[in-house]
Structure 1
Amino acid sequence: MTWARTFAGLVAALFATFTAFGAAVPVIPRLVTEELGGTPFAVGAAFTSTAAVTLALRPYGGQLAQRFGSRRLMLAGAALAAVIGAMYALPWGLPGLIATRLIMGVAEALLFTAGSVWTVQLAPESRRGQIVGWYGLAMWGGFMAGPALGESLYRLGSYPAVWAAAVVLPLLAAAVLSRLPAGARVPVVSRKLIPGAAVLPGLALGAGAFGYGVFVGFGALALSTRGIANGPVLLSVFSAAYIATRLVAGRLPDRLGPMPVIVVSSLAEAIGLAMIGFAPGWWVAAAGAVLSGAGFTLLYPSLAMITISRAPEPERGAALGALSSLYDIFFGLAGLVGGVVADISYPGTFALAAAVVLGSLALGPLATRPVSSGV
C-alpha cells in the first residue's frame, strides 16, 4: 500500500471520529439543562473537562505512538470513542456525563497525536508541511461537520439518534484503520514530556492561537456593540479562508521554508484581527476575517516542520503532542484574558490579540535554533 493510500485512510478515520465527537456538541447543553437538571456552569464543566484531559495527555500520546505504533494507538482511540458514544446513553446523571467527557479527552489525545506522528512518518520530506497541514484539516473538518450532523440527528430522532452516530462513526474509523499497515515503532523513546524542541515553536503557535481564540470568543460581540449585523457569519468566513488557503497554498512551507511563511502568516492574522476590532462596517470585518483565517492556517504546518526538524527521533512524538498542548493553552487564555479586556473595550481586545500574534515574528527565528537534547 502506498503512503498516500495509508495517509488517506488515517485521515478518513480521524475525520470520522472527530465528527462523532462534534456531533455531541449541540445537544450536550440541552441534555445538561433540560434532562439532567444542571446549570450553565455544569455545561461549561462538561466541555472544559474534555479539553483539560486532552491538553495534559497529548505528549503521552505521542510517546505511546512511537513506542507501540501509531495504528495500534489510533485503533485504541477509535474503540474508546465508540464506548464513549454508548456511555452517553446510560442513565447515570450529570456525574456520569462528566466522566464520559473526561474519557473523551483521552480518546482525542490518543487519536490526534498518534495520527500526527504517523503522518510525519509517512510524508515525503519534500511535502511534509503540506501533508501535516492536510492532516490538521481532518480534525478541523470533523469538528465543523459534527455539530451540523448532531443537530440534524437530534431533530430527526432526539438523543438516541445522536448517540447512535457517536458509536457507529468511530467503529467505521476502526474498520478503516484495521486495514492499514502498522505505523513504524521507535526502538528507544525519550521520557521527556515537553522536549526543548517544542517550546519555542509551541509558544509561536500559541501566539497565533491566542488571536484565533479572541476572534472566536469576541468577534460577533465586537460587531454587535457597534451596531453591525451578521457578526456570527464571521466565523464561517474565517473557516472558509482557513480551509481554502491550506488546500491551495499548503506547499508554501515546503517550497519557501517555514520562516517566510510564518512572517507573512503572522502579519496577515494580526492585520485581520485589527480590521475586525476597529471595523466601521460588515465588509471591512469580513475582509479581516479572510486575512486572519488565511494567515492563521499556515502557522501550524510551518511550526510543526520546525519542531520535527529540531527534535531527535526519540522525542518527536512528545514534541508534536506538546506543540498541540501549547496551542490549547493559549486558546484557553484568550477567552480569559480577552474577557477581562473586553469589559473595558472590544477594540482593545483585538488590538491586544494582534500584538500577541506578532509575537510569532520574534519567536519564529528563535525557534529555528538547534537545541541540545538527551534521551
Structure 2
Amino acid sequence: MSDTVASRSPAGHAAVLPRLLPLVAIVFLGFSAIGLPLAVLPLHVHGTLGWGAAMVGAVVGLQSLATVLTRRHAGVLCDTRGPKRAVLGGLAASALAGVCYALSLAITDPALGLAAILLGRLVLGFGESLFLTGALSWAITVVGPHNAGKVMAWNGIAMYGAMAAGAPVGLALLQAGGFGAVAVAATLAPLAGLLVAALVPAVPVPGGVRMPFTAVIGRVMRPGFGLALGSVGFAVLASFAPLLFAARGWPGAWAALTAFGGAYILARLVAGGLPDRLGGRRVAVLSLTVEAAGQLLIWSASSPALAVAGAAVTGLGFSLVFPALGVEAVKRVPPQSRGAALGAYVAFFDLSLALSAPAAGLLVAEGSYAPVFLAGAVAAGLSLLLTATGRDAPAPQA
C-alpha cells in the first residue's frame, strides 16, 4: 500500500483508527511480554534463585541495554525486508524470552538459572526493538506519514497500557500458579500478537537509495535529543516518586503514579492528533512547558495532594512529547529510510530511561528526593529551548 493511499481524503482520514487497531493490538500483546514478568522477576531472582539487589538491577536493566544496541538493526531490517518481517521476528524472540524464564525453573543450579533469565532478558530486548520499530513503520506506511502523530500516540497507549496491566496480572499469576504461570503467560502473549501480525497484509518496501545510518542519525538528532531531555521527568517520577512519599511520611504513593498514567492516556485520547494538525514542533513546545510545570509542582509540593497534582500535570505534558517530536523526526527522512529513522529516534528514549534515574540519584542527599524533580524540570526546559529554536520539518514525504 502506498503512503499516499490512506487519509488523503476525508473518508480515509475517518478510517485511520480502525486501520491502526490491529497494529496497536500487536504492540499491546508484545509489551505484555515485558509487563507481565516485570514486577515478578525481582522476586524470582532474589527469592527463588537467591541473588542480591545488584543482580536484580542487572536483570531488569539488561533488556533496555539490548534494546538500545539493536535499534539500528531493527530499523535497517524494516527498510530492507519490510516492517512485517521485523514484527514477526520480534514477537517470536519475545516469546522465546518466556521460554527462557521457564527454563530457569527446570535448572537446579542457581547460576545456570540466572543465566537462563539473563538470556531471556537479552532476547526480549532484541524482540522489543524489532516489533516496536516494525509496528511503528508498518502503521505509518498504512495510514500515511501525515498521520504519524496518531500512530505514535496510539502505540504509546498500547505500550503503557500493557505495562500498567501486566504488573498486577503478573503478581496475581505468581500467587495462583507460581513463576511458571508467569513464564507461560509471557510466552503466550507475544504468540497471540504473532497470530494477529500474520493476518495483517504486508506493505511494500519503498525503493530508492537508502541513507547511511550515520546520516539518518544526523537528521533525527535534534528531535532525538529533545525527546531524551523531555523523558527525564518521566524517568525520575517513576523511580523517585514512591521514595519521596516514603521519606516524607506521605500515604498513597501509588496515587502519584496512577495520576501520571491517567493523565498521560487522557491526553493521548483527546489530543493525540494535534501533532499531525498543528505540527510537531508547536505541540512539543506546549507539552514540554506543561511537563516542566508539573515537575516544578512536585519539587515544591508541601503536601501529597500537591505532589499527586504535579504528577498528573507531568503526565499531561509528557504524553505528547514522543509523538510530537516523532512527527518531526519522520519528516526529515525519505520513506526508504523511515525504519532507520524510527529506530534511531526511539533509541534516544531508551538511552534517556537508562541514564536518567542513575544520574538523578546522584542529586539525592540524606533522603531528600525533591532535587531530582527540579532536575526533571530543568531537562524539560532545555528540551523546550532546543525545540523552540529549531526549524519546522518539511512536509511529510509520501
The match for 1:284 among 279, 283, 306 is 306
Match in the other structure for 1:191: 212
Distance in 2 between residues matched to 1:229 and 1:3, nearest whole Å? 43
**1:205 CA displacement:** 0.7
The match for 1:81 among 68, 77, 94 is 94
TM-score (norm 1): 0.93
1:319-375 superposed Cα distances (whole Å, 9 cap, x missing partner): 21111111121222221221111126423222121011111222114443669xxxx
Distance change in 2, residues 1:347/1:159 (3 Å): closer
Distance in 2 between residues matched to 1:315 and 1:296, nearest whole Å? 27
Match in the other structure for 2:149: 129
Distance in 2 between residues matched to 1:142 and 1:115, nearest whole Å? 15
The match for 2:137 among 114, 117, 122 is 117
State the AA in 2 paired with 1:235.
L
- 1:195/1:315 contact within 8 Å kept: no
Unaligned runs of 5+ in 1: none
State the AA in 1 paired with 2:328.
I
| Alignment of structure 1 residues 54-69 onto 2, 5 Å | 54-69=67-82
Does residue 300 (structure 1) correspond to residue 313 (structure 2)? The answer is: no
State the AA in 2 paired with 1:32.
V
Does residue 225 (structure 1) correspond to residue 247 (structure 2)? The answer is: yes
State the AA in 1 paired with 2:39.
P
Does residue 368 (structure 1) correspond to residue 391 (structure 2)? The answer is: yes
Distance change in 2, residues 1:336/1:138 (3 Å): same
TM-score (norm 2): 0.88
After TM superposition, the structure 1 stretch with the greater mean CA deviation from structure 2, 24-33 or 344-353, is: 344-353
- 1:11/1:135 contact within 8 Å kept: yes
**1:218 CA displacement:** 1.3
**1:153 CA displacement:** 1.0
| Alignment of structure 1 residues 171-186 onto 2, 5 Å | 171-186=191-206
The match for 1:347 among 353, 357, 370 is 370
Distance in 2 between residues matched to 1:5 and 1:177, nearest whole Å? 15
Distance in 2 between residues matched to 1:311 and 1:185, nearest whole Å? 15
Match in the other structure for 2:295: 273
The match for 2:52 among 39, 45, 49 is 39
Which segments of structure 1 move beyond 4 Å, counting only runs of 4 or more?
Answer: 1-6
- 1:70/1:184 contact within 8 Å kept: no
Match in the other structure for 1:97: 117
The match for 1:264 among 276, 280, 286 is 286
**1:126 CA displacement:** 4.6
- 1:310/1:368 contact within 8 Å kept: no
Distance in 2 between residues matched to 1:234 and 1:224, nearest whole Å? 12
The match for 1:18 among 31, 37, 61 is 31
Q: SS at 1:81's partner residue?
A: helix
Aligned-CA RMSD value: 1.9
Unaligned runs of 5+ in 2: 2-14
Distance change in 2, residues 1:4/1:239 (3 Å): closer
Q: SS at 2:253's partner residue?
A: coil
1:53-109 superposed Cα distances (whole Å, 9 cap, x missing partner): 101111220110111111121111111222221121112411121111111111010
Distance change in 2, residues 1:133/1:58 (3 Å): same
